[in-house]
Each structure stands twice: as structure tokens, then as C-alpha cells.
Amino acid sequence: RMQTIGKLMKVYITRRIPPEGMKILSSATGVCEVSMWDSDEPVPRTELLKGVQGAHGLLCMLSDKIDAELLDAAGPNLKVISTMSVGFDHLVLDAIKKRGIRVGYTPDVLTDATAELTVALLLATARRLPEGVEAVKNGDWTSWKPLMLCGYGLSGSTVGVIGLGRIGMAIARRLMPFGVKRLLYSGRTTKADAAEVSGEFVPLDTLVSESDFIVVSCSLTPETQGLCDKAFFSKMKNTAVFINSSRGAVVNQEDLYEALTSGQIAAAGLDVTTPEPLPTNHPLLTLNNCVVLPHIGSATYSTRGVMAALSARNLLEGLQGGEMPSELAF
């Protein structure tokens, strides 16, 4: 399953990547030799630990845990890690920093695609699209009925964005034209561009209790891990809709299940879960008021192509000691 493309500095790629990225790496034959786990499925850990041995560069995905064990397996050659993602919670930064390794990632280029998907998920969840599609197919659509499949609309609503970063802001910009009345946000710092969406910086508790829609778009950190738990959901309105397109671990899924089944909250839409994939027998998948997607926020052909190209450029520049187009400062 291993594929060797060129020679010189050793690069290991943990998965097949879109051709836009491969093209850049294959044209750098004077710089590096590339080995790739030639599959669309994740490389098994044991294979990964073998594959990285002696590598100067590593191009990885968000599903590869890059920790001290892996860095030790790679050995002292490793100069640069390029992840084909904007999220970097799968990288153990302390261990990476200690070894003086540079990190590239893919901010900005996936912001629009992810914001668009998040809005689609919000609308699908609030307006109960999966239930509607199912009703048409299974014959539950017997007539137009005054209260059939009613949901919640954005017009006149209060939206709360947890983490008004690049993607959070892009989501807010897209939601405002639906007639949102108030846009609340919370995080560590106020944002200068929040004025563009009339964003009000509020304490998390205020956001949770006053919002009709809560959108989680923060990064996963020790502080945000498990942030959306029993106490969080118990402060939400019974009519509120919860959306998460950041990382699954921001949510305590047992507490979310309880909130959805007890009527504590109206509905939830998740593009990210723990674990991924979510087992098909997971309790959340039995609920009509929970819409779960398979982590497809950035999944447009063009965005994935641009992400692959950016990861390849980050890797090559890092290997040559140059300026990486998107280097993570840490």
C-alpha cells in the first residue's frame, strides 16, 4: 500500500489527498521523496509509527494523533508537520515545540465552506428537514396539517455564537440577513469585526439563557472541552436549538442526550461528535430532534483541493526553511 513518488528528504503523508496537493509534492522531486498511506481510510497507528521513521516532513489529517510517541518514532529528522485542517487539537503542541518542529495548518481557505455547512445544518435542524424528507418517503405525509413538522425560524431571533473567530464570524454574517434580531457572542476576547454583525460580547451564561439558537464554533482547548454539559443545557430555553460544528469533545454527549429527550432543549445539529465516526447504535441517532452529519464542514471539492494544496506548500516551504504560507504560531 506504500507509494514512493520521488527522492531526497523523506515526507510521509498519512492518507490519499486531493490531486491539487499531490501535484505540488510530485513536482518537488528535487526536494523530497514522498511515501503515502495509499488509502482513503486512516492509517492504522502501528503503520503510522512505522511509516514516519526517519521522516523530515509529515502531512497529516485531523484524525491522526501527533504525540510524543509518534514524534519519537519519527526521530530527530522531523522538521515540519503540516496538517490538512485548521483545527490542531490532534497535535500535542508541547511535545512538538520541545523538538523545535514547525507546524503548518489551513486557516481561512475553509472558512466559507464550513460556515455555509453550519448554516445548512442549523436550518435543517430548526426546520426539521430530515424528518420531512422521511415523512414524504414513508407515507406519513397524509395531508397538509396546521401543525405538521413545525419548527423554529431565525426571523426575530437571538443567536449566540460561542467563539466568534474566522468561522464564527462567517456564520454570523450569513445568519444576519435571515432577520436575526440580536447576535450575542462569547469567548476569551472581544472582536473588533463583531460590529459588522452588531455582535454583543456577553458572559457565556447570558448567551446560553437568552439565545434561541446557539452555534458552537470555538476551537477545542482544555477550557472548551466539555463546555456544553448538563449545567449548560439546563440554562438553555426549552425552545432553543443547539448547533456544533467545532469539535465533538466540546459537548458532553450524555448530557446532550438527556437535554434532548427531557424536552430541556428543542433540537441539536452536530457536524462533529465523539468518537468519529459515531457508532451507528449511538443513542443520539435514535432521536428525531438530533441531526448528525459526518464532519463535512469543509467538504466542497474546491475547498478540499485548496486545503490539500496549502498543506503541500506549507510542508515544502517548511522543509526548505522558507516562509510557510500558513504557519501556526505556538
Residues that bind ligand NDP in the complex, under the rule CB under 6 A: 86-87, 107, 110, 114, 162-168, 186-189, 217-221, 223-224, 245-247, 271-272, 295, 297-298
Q: Is 295 an annotated catalytic residue?
A: yes
Instruction: State the minimum distance, in angstroms, from the CB of residue 56 to ligand DGY.
Output: 24
**Residue range at the interface with ligand DGY (CB under 6 A); choices 13-21, 82-90, 130-138, 282-290:** 82-90
Between 111 and 211, name the residue whose CB sits nearer to ligand DGY. 111
Whether residue 18 is preceded by a cis peptide bond, meaning omega within 30 degrees of 0, is no
Between 241 and 272, name the residue whose CB sits nearer to ligand NDP. 272
**Residue range at the interface with ligand DGY (CB under 6 A); choices 83-91, 136-144, 262-270, 276-284:** 83-91
Between 117 and 319, name the residue whose CB sits nearer to ligand DGY. 117
Between 36 and 62, name the residue whose CB sits nearer to ligand DGY. 62
Which residues in 209-243 are b (16+ Cβ under 10 Å) and which e? ebbbbbbbbbbbeeebeebbbeebbebbbeebbbb
Which does residue 164 bind out of ligand DGY, ligand NDP, none, counting CB within 5 to 8 angstroms by kind? Answer: ligand NDP
Which does residue 303 bind out of ligand NDP, ligand DGY, none, counting CB within 5 to 8 angstroms by kind? Answer: none
Residue matched to cell numbers 488509502: 39
CA–CA distances in Å: residue 117 to residues 109, 124, 231, 245:
14, 10, 28, 9
**Applying CB under 6 A, which of residues 157, 298, 311, 314 lies at the interface with ligand DGY?**
298
d(CA 159, CA 155): 10
CA–CA distances in Å: residue 165 to residues 65, 192, 219:
24, 11, 9
**Applying CB under 6 A, which of residues 9, 43, 52, 62 lies at the interface with ligand DGY?**
62
Q: Which of 56, 90, 282, 295 is catalytic?
A: 295
Element (H, E) at 81: strand 80-83
Instruction: State the minimum distance, in angstroms, from the CB of residue 313 to ligand DGY.
Output: 16
d(CA 66, CA 317): 20
**Residue range at the interface with ligand DGY (CB under 6 A); choices 71-79, 84-92, 221-229, 274-282:** 84-92
Long-range contacts made by residues 142-151, C-beta under 8 angstroms, separation at least 24? Answer: 151/126, 151/127, 151/267
Rg (CA), the chain: 22
d(CA 57, CA 134): 47
The answer to whether 57 contacts ligand DGY (rule: CB under 6 A) is no
CA–CA distances in Å: residue 305 to residues 23, 236, 280, 300, 301:
11, 39, 29, 8, 6
Residue nearest to ligand DGY (CB): 87
Instruction: State the minimum distance, in angstroms, from the CB of residue 162 to ligand DGY.
Output: 16
Which does residue 48 bind out of ligand DGY, ligand NDP, none, counting CB within 5 to 8 angstroms by kind? Answer: none
Burial grade of 73 (CB within 10 A; 0-12, 13-18, 19 or more): middle
- Report the 10 Å Cβ neighbour count for 326: 18
- Report the 10 Å Cβ neighbour count for 145: 9
Instruction: State the minimum distance, in angstroms, from the CB of residue 272 to ligand DGY.
Output: 7
d(CA 255, CA 261): 10
Which does residue 224 bind out of ligand NDP, ligand DGY, none, counting CB within 5 to 8 angstroms by kind? Answer: ligand NDP
Between 23 and 173, name the residue whose CB sits nearer to ligand NDP. 173
Indicate the residue type of 183.
L
Residues 106 to 145: which contact ligand DGY by CB under 6 A? 110
Residues that bind ligand DGY (CB under 6 A): 62, 85-87, 110, 297-298
Give the catalytic positions in this structure.
Answer: 295
